[in-house]
A and B are shown apart, each in its own frame.
Chain A
Amino acid sequence: MSGPVARAGGRAHTAPGPRRGHRGTPWWRGTAAVALAFLLPSLVALTLLRLLPGATALWGSLHHTSLLSGESFVGLGNYLNLFSNADFRNAVGVTLLFTLVVNPLQIAVSIALAVLYTRRRMAGAKVWRALVILPIATPPAVSAVVWSVIFRPEGGLANALLAVVGLPPQGYLTSPDQALASIIVLLSWIGVGYWMLFLIAGINDIPTDLYEAAELDGASPARTFLSVTLPLLRRPLSFVLVAATVSNLLVFAPVQILTGGGPEGSTNLLMYDIYSRAYALGDMGRAQAEVVVLVVITLVIVAVQFRMLRSED
């Protein structure tokens, strides 16, 4: 994502000298009004629909509203209050654990599958690969509903399949130990195929002669993967890493639909904590502070990505 930003307005600098239009003035001059007319609808939309709510969240996070005294400025009070709140700290912990498991897991599996499905010797690789890709069309909320039936402790598909291999039935979403893992499964079912698409594209872009050279040198498949595939996959991989981290930070539908943050707070991810703080608890000030925290975390992650890609260029 770094390039286009670095080039912002870049074309203006590279434009050749003063070309003349038919009125004898440089042809681009006087176009500011026209350009603004083209830009205005989107600028209004983006300002009202993205920047303004960001600003109101920031404003709201610094104020406390009560029926008695109205709105009053409390500075960082909401934030301090938030960080001393046990539910919030639990949500941060759960989100951290979730992030540290779901992202490496999804990325490792999608790398493995991308490598697997680009092997020449596999019969029907395109067909099997297409089967992994099919679930990416599933909206997250639909995945949640479908898997809720699969995960039913009594009479669900998952336990029926476990019975085939002689394993006892599990609680899945109803078990404090398994609920978060169950949510990771239903998200990865969509995510892995999605990330794999980018990695397959990246692998297909690696020049074939590098593999031939590695083969002539007698490199093992593991060695070839570490010395050829992985280094040359850096760009798509760093993109996938950030995109996955950001989208997994915003997971909401499965928690809201399936567990309501439970059992025992074990699936209380940040997005759901914000939602329940705002609507179930009606604590807008602190919910807004939490929104700000989440947006800042996201922006930091994306900024790191900018850095990584830019230093590479």
Chain B
Amino acid sequence: MPTHTSEPPSPSTSEALSPSGERGRPLTRARRRLRPRGLLLSVAGAVVGLAFVTPLVWVLTNSLRPSGDTFRFLSPVGWETFLTLSPIADNYLALVGTGLGRGILNSLLISAVTVAVGLVLCSTAAFGLSALRFRGQGAVFAVIVVSFLIPFDAIAIPLADLFRDWNLQNTFTGLILPGLGNGMAIFMLRNFFLAIPEELVEAGRLDGLTWWGVFWRIYLPLSRPALMGAGLMLFLFQWQAYVWPLLMGTDAEHVVGPVALANMQGQFSVDYGLMFAGSVVLILVPLVIILSLQRYFIQSVSTSGLK
């Protein structure tokens, strides 16, 4: 984020997730003598790491097991609690056609549309705030800042009231709309756009580009990292959403993944294999996206402050 002098972390964050390239601090002699402490550190690091990943491993293993076996290997706890030698895909195949499978597809649809439309909305707004200048720009910018300081979850209930008046309950439009107005993404893109040299704009204008041309041909191609970060933010907002879809998408056709999963939890007899398979998919999709976009991940969330 070039213009971002006041934000917290930003550089050298790409290594945080990748198992490569420890920052090469030169070893001093004093350090070398401390081998036993190195061992102790490694053990501590490994224990904590394994503790954090244990629930995920248990969920993954049980998603590859028949439902009846979920609680079979718990007393006593042994290696079979966390591993299975005969994995089956049945639970994943069973997702097709269930409410949970439907919910996951709905989540994908809602998130994809939000990213596509949201990026257009946010980047055009950011362009209007950075490349162009006009009287009252400060006021418009203030409106955008205020809008993202209001936490969305807190105003979800009054907004749901309005959406009912507008007949948007149980529609995909109603589920998608709140994800589009993302002041934080605008804010982030604007900061990136401000670093684009004015000379490029002038040159483009002199060459006869319209303002749309300047935006489309100059700004967007130069801003790929910021667009990735903003896209990730728009995506995660929808993928993790719970309060809003709970209020808005209440019928079976419009249920989203997390809500469908939560509904299973309360049922009298739970198909745990199915539940865990659904959980794995709901975790894996954002995980793969975060890992492949990790370079932009911290940048985008650190400028947001509000998840």
Contacts and interface: CB of A to CB of B under 8 A. Distances in A.
B15 to A, nearest CB: 7
B279 A142 contact: yes
Nearest to B135: A32
Interface in B134-163: 134-138, 140-159, 161-162
A3 interface: yes
B277 interface: no
A257 B66 CA distance: 25
A122 B38 contact: yes
A31 B134 contact: yes
A123 B151 contact: no
Given A53-B158, A117-B45, A239 B133 contact: no
Contact of B155 (A34, A50, A128): A50
Interface in A71-98: none
A73 B143 CA distance: 28
Given A146-B279, A205-B11, A302-B149, A189 B77 contact: no
Given A148-B265, A250-B153, A164 B55 contact: no
Given A134-B56, A139-B286, A252-B242, A1 B75 contact: no
Nearest to B137: A9
Interface stretch (B22-30, B91-99, B221-229): B22-30
A250 B154 CA distance: 7
B2 interface: no
B167 interface: no
Given A139-B242, A291-B158, A201 B307 contact: no
Interface string A193-211: 1000111111011001001
A39 to B, nearest CB: 4
Nearest to A208: B25
Interface residues of A, number: 128
Contact of A239 (B44, B127, B305): B305
B89 to A, nearest CB: 20
Contacts of A6: 6
Instruction: Report whether over half of chain A's contact residues are helix, strand or loop; otherwise say mixed.
Output: helix
B122 A160 contact: no
Contacts of A257: 262, 265-266
Interface stretch (A99-107, A175-183, A223-231, A241-249): A241-249
B305 to A, nearest CB: 5
Contact of A28 (B27, B133, B154, B265): B133
Contact of B16 (A34, A161, A197): A197
6 contacts: A34-B211, A128-B46, A132-B53, A139-B242, A192-B52, A253-B242
Given A38-B125, A43-B143, 14 more contacts: A8-B142, A11-B194, A46-B143, A46-B144, A116-B44, A120-B22, A130-B49, A142-B279, A142-B283, A197-B17, A200-B13, A201-B298, A250-B153, A252-B243
Interface of B: 3-13, 15-20, 22-23, 25, 27-28, 30-31, 34, 37-38, 41-42, 44-46, 48-50, 52-53, 55-56, 58-59, 70-71, 74-77, 81, 121-122, 124-125, 127-130, 132-138, 140-159, 161-162, 177-178, 180-181, 183, 186-187, 190-191, 194, 198, 202, 205-206, 211, 215, 239-240, 242-243, 246, 258-259, 261-262, 264-266, 272, 275-276, 279, 282-284, 286-287, 290, 297-298, 302-307
Interface of A: 1-6, 8-9, 11-12, 15, 19, 21-22, 27-28, 31-32, 34-39, 41-43, 45-54, 56-57, 60, 113, 116-117, 119-142, 144-150, 155-157, 160-161, 163-164, 189, 192-193, 197-202, 204-205, 208, 211-212, 215, 235-236, 238-240, 242-243, 246-247, 249-250, 252-253, 256-258, 271, 274-275, 278, 284, 287-288, 291, 294-295, 298-299, 302, 305, 309, 313
